[in-house]
Structure 1
């Protein structure tokens, strides 16, 4: 399971999913690549994390332990 440092990660993933639908993961990857190209590795890591979170949020079943 991914580590979420803050609520912002979820909010960014949800916003991309609303704006881009099935292409949200591609948009997160593009933002990560753009950040890397600019030398901003903090934002690069953030958007890569968002890309992985979008994949998990798009799965229709529960993952991990359900309490």
Structure 2
């Protein structure tokens, strides 16, 4: 599995908020928000919310992925 970089703290904060509010369905909610921005032609916010979606997936992992130092 290739790890993804999360580039800003805001994405992690949004991911944490969605997890707190929607639980396991948080990733679906982030994807829905991203799709809404894509449909409206706002590619910057579309990309940002896709990053939030990836952050949610990473935060919800139960196993260790990658190297542990």
**Which contiguous aligned blocks of 4+ residues in structure 1 show a shift greater than 2 angstroms?**
none
Q: Which consecutive residues of structure 1, in runs of 5 or more, have no partner in the other structure?
A: none
Quote the residue 2:59 is aligned against.
Answer: 57
Quote the residue 1:37 is aligned against.
Answer: 39
Q: Which of 24, 32, 45 is residue 26 of structure 2 equivalent to?
A: 24
What is the TM-score with the length of structure 1 in the denominator? 0.91
| CA distance in 2 between partners of 1:11 and 1:3 (Å) | 15
Aligned length: 67
- Aligned CA RMSD, in angstroms, stands at 0.9
